[in-house]
Amino acid sequence: MIRTWKVFQERYATRIECWILLFFVLRLIGITNAPLEISHNWRQVTGLMVARNFLEINANIFYPRIDETIGASGIIGMEFPLLNHLHYLFSLLFDYQHWYGRLINLIVSSFGIFYFYKTVKLLFNERLAFFAAYLLLISSWFAFSRKMMPDTFCVSLMFIALFHGFKYLKEGQVIQLFCFFLFGTLGMLSKIPALFYLIIFIPFILKENPPRKQVVVFILTSILALIPPFYWYFVWCPYLSDTYGQWYNSGMGISQGFFELYGHLTATFHRFYFDAFSGFLAFGLCVIGLIYLIIKSERQLITYILFLTFSFFIYMLKSGFYFHHHSYYILPFVPIMAIVAGYTLTCIKNPRLLIGLILLLTVEGIANQQHDLFIKKSEAYKIEAESFIHPHVASNQLIAVNGNGNPQLLYLSHRKGWVISDEQLQDKSFLKTLKSKGCLFILIAKNEKYKEGGLELKIAENTHFVLFAL
């Protein structure tokens, strides 16, 4: 038994690939679930709408559309729908299922953590790379990398790009430059926060002083990689928003964002000290790690962290309200925090203390996220929305649902139309306006705020739903 344990330690326990594979398998629990988990189901169904509409309406990746059409086409300005289009391609082969996007994101994010490990190892050392990558595995990435959301997906693509970018600057191979361009472009297109990692090349070039020709070619390639995301987010998305009438989140001004964050400091700091790792212990390691870095004068590592932190701070200011309001906005910065916390672990020489601390970190991180692997019984009824309305509402007829800002029920009903509030159900003039815009039915999920109000023509009802005709 002792020999087996030693073999495990020598061959597997110190190999990050084994842990990435283990956590990959663990996160397959509930991978086929519909988007019914309490956390961020609204964000996932929005992406799922786009994927399903690629399949059922138009596969043109330049015209993503959601089901909340508000009586129009549903075409919307959003992040470049690479993840959604991959989901669509899977659906061409295997028919549409909710969970394809989950699996795609999990696969890409797992590769992303491996390349994060390789990059940290390339820049610093293997021990720091291992601890940083392991901490990233048990951080908020644990849950978000299995959601139909592009936040870990985009950063993972950027990690692949970073590794190949550093390899090109070291070795000058064209294939490395091509991989940097390809994955960097796709990462920044998938969601713009991936862009802030590009700043890390500045201190690297200044310190390593690669051949001037390689630096010039690399800078030109970086500029080329920036052109597609710049066009998508600052030209094409505003055009889609103006043309098709759907709201587009373009962020806010730097000064406005500053006052927004300053006015909500508690929520803003919560993103760092709890949401980043779904617990408090790892943040404590970050604080200790910063102190150690200063005491031990780790200038190179401090320089990289300062550059990345400054770049991320600009992103925070541009996000403003959305940063302190949504927990997933911290996800791009979690890898940086994992490096700092990982540095603390490299300073611990006592093996038992180290293993015990890692175990505590793992238990805390996963325990605070395990609920995302399962669906509450109280939410399961929503999956029946489509079968409930199918006998009464044709697939091309417009409906409204009382989602109170959440389009989940609209997606699960497999219909298009409006998401309205319980209060709006009581407003007869509002209902009249809905009808004039082509809304024919209202699907209501019963809740404590629900009142029939001005609705009179009841078509169907069961324990959970009521369907009215306007």
The rounded average pLDDT for each run of 10 residues, N- to C-terminus, in the chain (470 residues) is 56 88 96 92 95 96 95 93 97 94 98 98 96 98 96 98 97 96 98 95 95 96 97 94 82 89 94 95 96 94 96 94 92 98 96 95 96 91 94 95 92 96 87 93 81 77 92
Q: Are residues 226 and 358 in the same domain?
A: yes
Q: Are residues 219 and 354 in the same domain?
A: yes
Structure confidence by residue, pLDDT tens digits, 123-175 = 999 999 999 999 999 999 999 999 999 999 999 999 999 999 999 999 999 99
Residue 427's pLDDT is what? Answer: 86
The domain boundary residue, chosen from 316, 337, 372: 372
Distances (CA, A) of 27 to 17, 19, 109, 372: 15, 12, 12, 9
Q: Are residues 264 and 290 in the same domain?
A: yes
Backbone φ and ψ of 469, nearest 5°: -100, 145
Neighbours of 373 (CB within 10 A): 18
Residue 3's pLDDT is what? Answer: 59
- The first and second tokens of residue 252, run together, are 């806010």
Q: Are residues 366 and 393 in the same domain?
A: no
Q: Are residues 336 and 419 in the same domain?
A: no
Q: Are residues 422 and 363 in the same domain?
A: no
Contacts of 20 (CB under 8 A, 6+ apart): 110, 113, 114, 133, 137
Q: Are residues 227 and 145 in the same domain?
A: yes
Q: Which helix (H) or strand (E) holds 334?
A: helix 334-346
Residue 114's pLDDT is what? Answer: 98
DSSP β-bridge partners for residue 75: 65
Residue 449's pLDDT is what? Answer: 66
Distances (CA, A) of 175 to 179, 226, 362: 6, 19, 38
User: Could you tell me if 303 and 203 are in contact, meaning their C-beta atoms sit under 8 angstroms apart?
Assistant: yes
Structure confidence by residue, pLDDT tens digits, 263-319 = 999 999 999 999 999 999 999 999 999 999 999 999 999 999 999 999 999 999 999
Determine the longest span between alpha carbons in the chain, in angstroms.
77
Q: Are residues 303 and 396 in the same domain?
A: no
- The first and second tokens of residue 325, run together, are 């309001």
Q: Are residues 391 and 451 in the same domain?
A: yes
The domain boundary residue, chosen from 341, 372, 403: 372
List of E strands, 181-293: none
pTM listed for this prediction: 0.94
Residue 8's pLDDT is what? Answer: 55
Of 255, 237, 257, 233, nearest to 246 (Cα)?
237
Residue 428's pLDDT is what? Answer: 87
Q: Are residues 300 and 383 in the same domain?
A: no
Q: Are residues 435 and 306 in the same domain?
A: no
User: At how many degrees (to 10) do helices 126-138 and 16-26 cross?
Assistant: 10
The domain boundary residue, chosen from 351, 372, 393: 372
Question: Distance (Å, rounded) from C-alpha 16 to C-alpha 246?
Answer: 44
- Domain span at residue 167 reads 2-372
Q: Taking the C-alpha atoms of 417, 419, 425 and 429 in order, what is their torsion angle to the nearest 10 degrees?
A: -60
Contacts of 86 (CB under 8 A, 6+ apart): 100, 101, 104
Q: Are residues 115 and 172 in the same domain?
A: yes
Residue 248's pLDDT is what? Answer: 73
Residue 2's pLDDT is what? Answer: 55
Q: Please give the tally of structural domains in the chain.
A: 2
Residue 4's pLDDT is what? Answer: 56
Task: Tell me whether strands 439-445 and 465-469 are parallel, antiparallel or unpaired.
Answer: antiparallel
